[in-house]
Amino acid sequence: MAGGFAKDGAVQEQIDATIEDAIKRAKDQLPKGDSLRSCEECGESIPEARRQAVPGVRLCIGCQTDLDEEQKAFAGYNRRGSKDSQLR
């Protein structure tokens, strides 16, 4: 139930766009290609079990954990604008 100058369904379209952006970002971060035997960051050996469990793995567990922590800071805001700015 959007009001003002926003068309009906504008809020749902905003929600859908946010979800689509998050899905695309997650898919883009999936490993691709052959798994490496050693980490491309630190050079540490990547265990065989990890290479089989995560096809295309490029980082050891330690470096992957660090990368995940850095990416956690990115909250995933919607670049198309906030709900408030579109409904005003």
Listed by start position, the domains of the chain span: 33-74
Task: State the pTM of this model.
Answer: 0.55
pLDDT band for 58, please (50, 70, 90 cuts). very high
Who wins on pLDDT, 52 or 84? Answer: 52
pLDDT tens for 3-24 read: 566 677 788 889 999 999 989 9
Helices within the chain (DSSP H only): 10-28, 48-53, 61-72, 83-87
